[in-house]
Structure 1
């Protein structure tokens, strides 16, 4: 891709100060990350011995394994200069191998933080300013959407405040979305960007945007005359010695890749993300990510120190969670200064959490796409923080004969919006037998396995930010006539039509 030459500024110090102080247009001034050279209060968290820590982690992880919510985990726990790596379960349902520190997992949106560090490094080197409009770094034919005189900047992309949606509309309707990338090209992406119309001013509010980070990642690479992945390798992975963090694996690395599984623990192939790669396609290990976290905690000497400080600084509000760094999220509490990110793909979920003051960190890599992994990671962080932690309370499926599930099967009519009524288009959901249980197919090709909790009541494991409940409703004759789906605080009733 041909790009315009970036506008440069004269003093790298100015760029660094700008990054540490800049905020969104509507957010209050954000606090800067603590300087590595400042005196940091002594940690108040409990320093566990390796054996005591393992015992406590076992008590939190094993119930998740026993409840059927996970296939395997590789977990890293950092306490100052010490790192404990633990493995649980299996690298695949049909494997007898337990994950370890060198087992590879797709880490999803953790990839975005690598893009943020690369952007910060370019700013540190006086190559870009984060308030540069992105049109400066895109081909001449691209017409970047604007809101009046307000242009989308690099900072808007990095803090999810660009006004761009999660994914392009044509990406979601493309046949290639079976692998979330496939044949969707950079040309298609840039044509979509040129045609998109903003619904609000950039910087106005937070909206998570995978496409925004994808565009940012490609810009970061193109500025240096490289692909985004090569830029990532040259800027971060190679200097830090992270030899197993990449998107394309060698045959030897392929042999160490854990098999991905859905939340219902059905195996799935490795997700091909394609042009959206900067948003989530990196593969890594606990050993490599431990290096990455320790570098952010200033436990490793690295030329990336300033860039990492810039990336972790609060640049915009991410209420009610905290603040957005350059792709990192900062959770601000009176006694801690925590930075984190969570990433999931079809088959994997990864979480990285670390405390800048207490020099502690948690890395959880799981080969199942379930938000239980995220919950477990925050439990482990609380454990390192010195708090009393109880095992997760997980819903358990009850055994049931397959023939007793037949009354629930059928086609259910989804409530239509006014526009859909005008277009005379109906959307339906299908419930069918699946092995010894049920599966539901919702509009948009979303499939999920239903687990029976009690009579007429089922649940879905690991769906987005909440565990959904599906209840079947019987008529006065005892026949199943409708299905009620409770998810994310909302309930929808679907009428059975056949």
Structure 2
């Protein structure tokens, strides 16, 4: 095991990946250790510390799920109840699905909803209600319960349930149900609260490698339930301690344990082996971990908890496209250094040009296009926001991910791993129809459907 300290490793890793600011917190043996490096912004540099606010993006989903589980424990929500019990006005592209989707389907991404709607319904207290009214525009990718597919829209709909049941705005309800009783003093949705404190800007790389500040700092208000929370490394370790504890005044211990139990299995997913309630579940070198990641415009966060060792690590970085890879390297180092647990990418097969030609094509979801290309040397994957979405948006959107090499994994399940670039280490798989034709690809838990054939 290396004699390098956490602070030394964090600094070296930030420099290696060109990350301006990196905040890391580790909970081990009952102690909290923080290692922070760099600055909040290349334009207005302030030192990053354990209280600096970063965008958590999709880690927010663990808070939304916990708030709903509190309402379940209080008898105000039923997990197996149809969503229409709480939102009777719900209309979707598929009427049968609208009638059948349950609260549990939203929390484990099995509702059959596509990833999200790229709409801005404003900053008012009606933002979520207006978002839900637009859901008939969202494609259905499967029948409820048929498969897991990561859906931001599903969590935004779950946030609307919180509003309807409590009679409060989503943000007020989560503050009362979760933030206050857990003791989270540096976790905010409100931009005014965030900008009154030290916060990290996201950064994106220019073609020459230089970094520029991402001008769009946070998602629209309707996306708060799925990804709008800003928080600090210190608060994230408080959150981890709560999840490892007995629930206190927030949740019965059994409810916390229920959130960690598998509800649906995942296939070839970097998220893990299964989804619980709000958490992704993984077996890493013989130990069970729960966690969630988040990606925003030039900001990336990762929270991993190992309950059997009362261990947790949070990593937050403020530059793309290398933020995901940087965070993964730090998490893996901490697992090995503190727990002697090794986490490694699987080894791909040698390149097979005939098999690759079957996979090459164009795939998309509502806002993004994914291109698989095959040549004499290998397969590559590129993903980016659709040009028409960029042209229609009045906000800055994250840059596209350039083409990166992928390799197929052993077996006959059409699974792959990304082997270089900002997405390296990401797992996924190709889908076939009943005739054996390739019709889709999963990346980051999202189903991109083939559109070129």
Calculate the TM-score normalised by the size of structure 2. Answer: 0.69
8 Å CA contact retained: 2:401, 2:422: no
Counterparts of residues 82-101 of structure 1 (less than 5 Å): 82-101=31-50
**Runs of 5+ in structure 1 lacking a partner?**
1-45, 391-414, 419-439, 454-458, 468-487, 489-498
Question: Is structure 2 residue 267 aligned with structure 1 residue 267?
Answer: no
8 Å CA contact retained: 2:116, 2:138: no
8 Å CA contact retained: 2:163, 2:173: yes
Match of 2:259 among 297, 311, 314: 311
Structure 1 residues 224 and 95, CA gap change in structure 2 (3 angstroms): same
| Cross-structure match for 1:113 | 62
| Cross-structure match for 2:319 | 368
Provide the secondary structure at the position in 2 that maps to 1:75: strand
Query: Alpha-carbon deviation of 1:350?
Result: 0.7
Question: Is structure 2 residue 156 aligned with structure 1 residue 214?
Answer: yes
Q: Which moved more, 1:224-233 or 1:264-273?
A: 264-273
Q: Which moved more, 1:197-206 or 1:152-161?
A: 197-206
CA-atom RMSD in angstroms: 3.9
Counterparts of residues 290-439 of structure 1 (less than 5 Å): 290-298=237-245, 301-306=248-253, 307-320=255-268, 321-333=272-284, 335-369=286-320, 370-379=323-332, 380-387=334-341
| Cross-structure match for 1:495 | none
8 Å CA contact retained: 2:128, 2:221: no
Query: Alpha-carbon deviation of 1:333?
Result: 5.0
Counterparts of residues 185-224 of structure 1 (less than 5 Å): 185-186=127-128, 188-194=130-136, 196=138, 198-224=140-166
Query: Alpha-carbon deviation of 1:384?
Result: 2.4
Larger radius of gyration: 1
Structure 1 residues 315 and 227, CA gap change in structure 2 (3 angstroms): same
8 Å CA contact retained: 1:295, 1:305: no
Task: Write out per-residue CA displacement over residues 245-270 of structure 1, whole angstroms, 9 at most, x where no aligned residue.
Answer: 11115568633111221255320131
| Cross-structure match for 2:394 | none
CA distance in 2, matches of 1:105, 1:447: 16
CA distance in 2, matches of 1:202, 1:356: 31
8 Å CA contact retained: 1:113, 1:328: yes
Provide the secondary structure at the position in 1 that maps to 2:308: coil
Q: How many equivalent residue pairs?
A: 362
8 Å CA contact retained: 1:150, 1:202: no
Match of 1:145 among 84, 94, 100: 94
Question: Is structure 2 residue 73 aligned with structure 1 residue 124?
Answer: yes
8 Å CA contact retained: 1:328, 1:339: yes
CA distance in 1, matches of 2:220, 2:62: 17
Calculate the TM-score normalised by the size of structure 1. Answer: 0.64
Query: Alpha-carbon deviation of 1:292?
Result: 0.5
**Runs of 5+ in structure 2 lacking a partner?**
345-359, 364-383, 391-396, 405-418, 428-442, 444-453
